[in-house]
Structure 1
Amino acid sequence: MSARQVPKQRYLAPKEAASFRQVLKLYETHQYKKALKVADTILKKYPEHGETLAMKGLIMTFTDQRAEGHELIKLGLRNDISSFICWHVYGLFNRTEKNYEEAAKCYQHALKYDPENGNILRDLALLQVQMRNLDGFISSRKQILSQRPEIRQNWTALAIGYALVKDYALAESILQKYEDAMIEAAKPDDIEHSELLLFKNWIIHQSGDVKRALEDLEKIADVVLDKLCVLEYRALYLLELGRSEEAARAYRKLINRNPDCKAYFEGLEKALKVTDDVPKRKALYAALAKQYKRSNVAKWNPLVFLTGQEFKEAVSEYLSGFLARGVPSAFVNLKPLYTDDSKVQAIEEFALKYLSTLTGVASNGSSSTSNGAKDTAEATPTTYLWTVFYLAQHYSKIGKQDVAMEYVEKAIAHTPTLVEAYMVKAKILKRSGDLQAAADTMNQAREIDLQDRFVNSKAGKYYMRANKNDEAVSTISLFTKNDGAGKGVGDLHEMQCIWFVTEQGEMFARQDKIGMALKRFHSVKKIVDDWWTDQFDFHQYATRQGTARTYIDLIRWEDSLYSQPFYTRAAEDAIKTYLSLHDTPKSARVAAELAGLSEEERKRVMKKLKRDRAKENKKLEAEKLSEKDDDPLGKNLENTTKPLEDAMVFYKPIKDLEAWKWLGEEIEKRKNAPVEAKTEATA
């Protein structure tokens, strides 16, 4: 660098240099006020010192002075553009702004001036895996490992990088080199070492070498602390290797530990090769049900593959046990079978027959069966209650709402304080189309047990389905703090209660409150975006704690985040709303409302509309999401001049999903539509 290019104030005197190091330490310990004071003392003597200006700007961004801080960071960089500290600081600022691409560029600039800086390399690697630049991540991790090979997490992180790109041979090689280089033997309670061994074993299995994975598992079994994982891996490997008898023993061992894990039963079926042999499969489950009397899986699984008379016998035994014990979840357990009409009919026949034996049961506790037999353990008022309760759910599920209502009324008449009965009645009314009555009935259920948050949430949801926002908000606010902006609504946004935000957005859309609807849909996207951003904290944590397998599961889940129904539902709602704004702008909708009216009638209607909207807006403004919410009614969103571009914001994360291609086609269709056609459509 020539003398002309060297910043005037690049170097500090020893005293100020020590003060600058103090600024760095104070920043790292979050002592921002002290750091600013020390930085100011440096700047009094060296007002153009780029690194101090940049650090002061960065600290200011953590003290609610982001704009001023940003300007100082840029000024510091201009004053010393060849400083790795200035570039690193600018990268840190961009990272807090979630501008990851710019942050990564800043780190790369910083590394030009200090290629061996481990902190910058680590920060760059975290950004690269966040952006799924896995090749860059591997390259950065190689450099970090070459600098600090004595640290275990550097080996783990590089192995994770190779595992994410499915280069399992290199991933295993990295972990093996670390094991070979270990100077001291791991302690017996070293959880991180235990996880590392399991991670290496998982990698071997993922590579397809199941035999070697099993051999490795047997070697490490005594050292690994997660004994359940060893048992599960062993059973799986034996099954995949075709060692059926050993696999069956392994799965029986697992079932003995947890007789309610469905996967263990499925593994045992495959090991015994009875999956396609109904008689043997039936005999297996008969033995398992006898051995594990309290296992629901052992009793339920046969209902899936049995048919005809065998199914009738099995479901009769299964359901009668639930009804006799008074288990409210009996219908929920059997609901997956309702895709088969013959099984639905068999269930109905049994439930009606079972009820006929209980028709003599009185609400006062006395009972007599219809055939005059003596009282039995089944013939109790409780059994009668849960039988009619089941039939109400059954008939509602198959679309016979009138019959379902008769049975649920019997349940309510029998036990007027049964919360579940009112909830089922509300669902029947909802399916019948009477949303207001459904909401009122769900509220009745809520009032029976005011401490039940689940029923409270259901009542709020049903009120929103009935387009009753005030009732929904007041109901839901009974379980929120209500000490901030928006009261319950603000609290639920802060808690990222995504179902509430979505339901309220759809309610506003139905009421043609477009601005409020769009506000809610944008809130859903922000919540999901936050979930995506939140993974950033785990990139370093997982390697430090050695939880590599769980971390890879997290990465894969995050990669599917925007394909989950909680996002696609809101995205579809938002895109449709923006398309309607494009097809019929706000001005066109207002004109349509006034079309065909005389001047005097128009004035009267406009006056009433303004009055009604002002009244409604006053209510809705109370639901602003924070004190800084400068658009509580979403008017800026509704008055957009680029609805198709705004729709693309929601479509972009799901554009590669086949199920949602049609939304992209709808957007493109409007983009390519002739101007004349658009004008005619909005006239």
Structure 2
Amino acid sequence: MSARQVPKQRYLAPKEAASFRQVLKLYETHQYKKAIKVADTILKKYPEHGETLAMKGLILTFLDQRSEGHELIKLGLKNDISSFICWHVYGLFHRTEKNFDEAAKCYMRALKFDPGNGNILRDLSLLQMQMRNFDGFVTSRKQILSQRPEIRQNWTALAVGYGMMANYDLAESILQKYEDAMTEPAKPDDTEHSELLLFKNWVIYQRGDIQRALDDLEKISAFVLDKLCVLEYRAKYLLELGRLEDAAKVYRKLINRNPDSKEYFVGLEKATGVTDNIPRRKVLYNELAKKFKRSDVAKSTPLYFLEGDEFQAAMSDYLTGLLSRGVPSAYVNMKPHYANEVKVKAIEDFVLKYLSTVIADSSNGSPSNGNGTTNGTSENTPSTYLWTVLYLAQHYSKIGDQTKATQYIEKAIEHTPTLVEAYMVKAKIQKRSGDLQAACETMNQGRELDLQDRFVNSKAGKYYLLANKNEQAVNTISLFTKNDGPGKGVGDLHEMQCLWFITEQGEMFARQGKIGLALKRFHSVKKIVDDWWNDQFDFHQYATRQGTVRTYIDLLKWEDSLHSWSFYTRGAEDAIKMYISLYDTPKSARAAAELEGLSEEERKRVIKKMKRDRAKENKKLEIEKVSEKDDDPLGKNLENTANPLEDAMVFWKPLSGLKEWESLGEEIKKRMDVAKEPEKVVATA
């Protein structure tokens, strides 16, 4: 080791060494202030001890003294660059900063100086899973398993790694070796063992060996606590093996357990071979509807495959039941059929006829079943008329006839002026008609009828945003939020990660040309989605320790599709287009364009108006703040960025693997290439 590499004060006296171990324990138990005091006693005697400096720096970062802590960590590393503790600490610091790539590099350096350190290997493996570096993860977990083969989660984690790599042969082999190594039988209530058995069965299925998966399932079923999962797996395996009669029996058991699961009904269709045979399919659903009288799936599914008179008959029975009982969701249940014009006409004819029958029967006091008869067995209620005209209002609004929709919704409101849903439907009709001002006022009328309904409150807030009425939206939504911070409820909605409000508000600011505020909201959306991505980190160790492996794999798959979610793509697309616009037309050019061609007097008037508008904005700063620490409430720093294309790339990068967003990425890259041309010319010269 050269003189340059010799650590300063590497070794501590026994007393200080004991104190350093105490610092580590206090850090692990989150007693940060005590840990700082103990570290200071060590540093009084050994002021250049790298590991103590690094630990003190790490602890300071947890006490919100990040910059000071970072400097101490770097100083500690400088004083003892060959210490695995210093490198591990630096990795932990980067991990808290969500800088996973740098954290992984630090862990790798730490392992060079202490190759068998289990804690560092564990932390490295968690980062590798976070970054989807499955090869690295498997390598790390192999080392951990070789050190501690007696711990179940070490076997599970390695099997998960192979599973994520789609190397199901090795995943099964690892799980089988663990089972063979078990010295004692699992307890009957051991949920972790139960989940491990199901995970192994899932792995066998993923290998494509369905018969063996079924045999294994029958073998383990007595030891598995999740009996529903056993039934679902058994039904799926039998179906794929072509044992249709056996599969049908299992699907019938599942439907008995849950007659509202569409998945079970589809499985039964396939098992009974009726999917492509409409007459047999109809018989099956008639049988199921009689047996499960409360199952909406059994009654509504035939509407998807029946046509003509058969559809008319099934639809009449189904809608009669909904409208006669006054089911508010009648229109929502029928909405999927509005893609078929023939079915839409049949629905319209029936509901109009049904309404005329209800009106006629109510005028002579006879109960009706909606089909023109008055047999005294109808389920009609006094509210049947109300929900029928409400349905027609939604129906006509959906097919684009807002005039008729308005006529029917007015009838509903006249009949029951206190029905919140009627005002919500009327507001939607007005929105579709293009009258956003009236729509938000109507929605607010509905809100005022039930001030305790948070859903209606949210709808009213959304409609205010659509009408570009930010202050009313914030005031409305703040009725259900904590308002002890800045910006009324805006700060609380950011803290609660309320994406719909932040996205809608960002789009409103974009329509108003308030670029800074719009970008500020879209950056908030990105931060929230990024936080959800980062939050999975806590589950990499927890899930394998608790044995919830199948759910964990589902989580990983969900996280991988997170940035394709509409809330992110909406905000990202708007932000990218704004940044491209900022690049194409810089602020100075926009300002010059506004003044171009004006006389001196007009220029002065425009500049004066700009100053007046800026003063008004400054008065509203408080309502735009999202936190006490918000030092850029109007987003001016974002709007005045010196690197708009680089900022656009930050939003586009998570979308780079999605085909529908390739063109937007090309737009950014094209401009970036053009921007580099002058640099090439200078370099050539």
- TMscore range, shorter length: over 0.9
Q: Does 1:176 align with 2:167?
A: no
Label 1:175 to 1:395 Cα distance change in 2 as closer, same or farther (>3 A): same
1:157 corresponds in structure 2 to 157
1:135 corresponds in structure 2 to 135
1:661 and 1:372 map into 2 onto residues whose CA distance is 60
1:374 and 1:654 map into 2 onto residues whose CA distance is 61
1:372 and 1:253 map into 2 onto residues whose CA distance is 38
- Map 1:12-27 → 2, pairs under 5 A: 12-27=12-27
2:376 and 2:210 map into 1 onto residues whose CA distance is 59
* Contact 2:326–2:381, Cα closer than 8 Å, also in 1: no
1:373 deviates by 5.9
Amino acid at match of 2:221: A
1:4 deviates by 6.8
- 1:548-601 deviation line (CA, Å, top 9, x unaligned): 101011111111111111111111111111122122222222233333322122
1:8 deviates by 3.1
1:510 and 1:236 map into 2 onto residues whose CA distance is 50
* Contact 1:361–1:380, Cα closer than 8 Å, also in 2: no
Larger deviation: 610-619 or 28-37?
610-619
1:100 and 1:78 map into 2 onto residues whose CA distance is 22
Q: Does 1:39 align with 2:59?
A: no
* Contact 2:285–2:298, Cα closer than 8 Å, also in 1: yes
2:518 and 2:507 map into 1 onto residues whose CA distance is 6
1:261 corresponds in structure 2 to 261
- Map 1:135-534 → 2, pairs under 5 A: 135-360=135-360, 377=378, 380-534=381-535
Larger deviation: 36-45 or 583-592?
583-592
1:659 deviates by 0.8
- Map 1:85-124 → 2, pairs under 5 A: 85-124=85-124
Amino acid at match of 1:184: E
2:670 and 2:27 map into 1 onto residues whose CA distance is 52
- 1:93-148 deviation line (CA, Å, top 9, x unaligned): 00001111111011011111111110000000000000011000000000000000
Q: Which runs of 5+ in 2 are unaligned?
A: 679-685
Residue 357 of structure 1 aligns to a residue in which SS? helix
* Contact 1:408–1:421, Cα closer than 8 Å, also in 2: yes
1:310 and 1:130 map into 2 onto residues whose CA distance is 54
1:665 deviates by 2.2
1:299 and 1:191 map into 2 onto residues whose CA distance is 38
1:328 and 1:275 map into 2 onto residues whose CA distance is 31
Amino acid at match of 2:611: K
Amino acid at match of 2:348: E
1:595 corresponds in structure 2 to 596
Label 1:621 to 1:245 Cα distance change in 2 as closer, same or farther (>3 A): same
1:380 deviates by 4.5
Residue 290 of structure 2 aligns to a residue in which SS? helix
1:602 deviates by 1.7
1:149 deviates by 0.2
Q: Which runs of 5+ in 1 are unaligned?
A: 678-683
1:102 and 1:487 map into 2 onto residues whose CA distance is 38
Question: C-alpha root-mean-square deviation of aligned residues, in Å?
Answer: 1.8
2:657 corresponds in structure 1 to 656
Larger deviation: 593-602 or 218-227?
593-602
Label 1:386 to 1:376 Cα distance change in 2 as closer, same or farther (>3 A): farther
Residue 186 of structure 1 aligns to a residue in which SS? coil
Amino acid at match of 2:554: D
1:680 corresponds in structure 2 to none
* Contact 1:477–1:487, Cα closer than 8 Å, also in 2: yes
1:37 and 1:674 map into 2 onto residues whose CA distance is 53
1:199 deviates by 0.2
1:376 and 1:300 map into 2 onto residues whose CA distance is 22
1:674 deviates by 8.2
* Contact 1:141–1:158, Cα closer than 8 Å, also in 2: yes
2:72 and 2:671 map into 1 onto residues whose CA distance is 44
2:676 and 2:21 map into 1 onto residues whose CA distance is 62
- 1:370-389 deviation line (CA, Å, top 9, x unaligned): 98968773555311100000
Label 1:537 to 1:372 Cα distance change in 2 as closer, same or farther (>3 A): closer
2:79 corresponds in structure 1 to 79
* Contact 2:464–2:473, Cα closer than 8 Å, also in 1: yes
* Contact 1:490–1:626, Cα closer than 8 Å, also in 2: yes
TM-score, normalisation: structure 2: 0.96
1:681 corresponds in structure 2 to none
Residue 381 of structure 1 aligns to a residue in which SS? coil
* Contact 1:172–1:204, Cα closer than 8 Å, also in 2: yes
1:674 and 1:95 map into 2 onto residues whose CA distance is 34
1:251 and 1:327 map into 2 onto residues whose CA distance is 29
Amino acid at match of 1:445: G
In the TM superposition, structure 1's runs of 4+ consecutive aligned residues that sit over 4 Å from their partners are: 365-376, 672-677
2:11 and 2:676 map into 1 onto residues whose CA distance is 62
* Contact 2:645–2:672, Cα closer than 8 Å, also in 1: yes
* Contact 1:360–1:368, Cα closer than 8 Å, also in 2: no
2:634 and 2:604 map into 1 onto residues whose CA distance is 24
- 1:291-315 deviation line (CA, Å, top 9, x unaligned): 1000000001100000000000000
1:613 deviates by 2.4
2:677 and 2:49 map into 1 onto residues whose CA distance is 60
Larger deviation: 586-595 or 104-113?
586-595
Label 1:570 to 1:11 Cα distance change in 2 as closer, same or farther (>3 A): same
1:210 and 1:373 map into 2 onto residues whose CA distance is 56
TM-score, normalisation: structure 1: 0.96
Percent identity of the aligned residues?
78
1:655 deviates by 1.3
1:51 and 1:630 map into 2 onto residues whose CA distance is 36
1:190 and 1:569 map into 2 onto residues whose CA distance is 45
Label 1:466 to 1:546 Cα distance change in 2 as closer, same or farther (>3 A): same
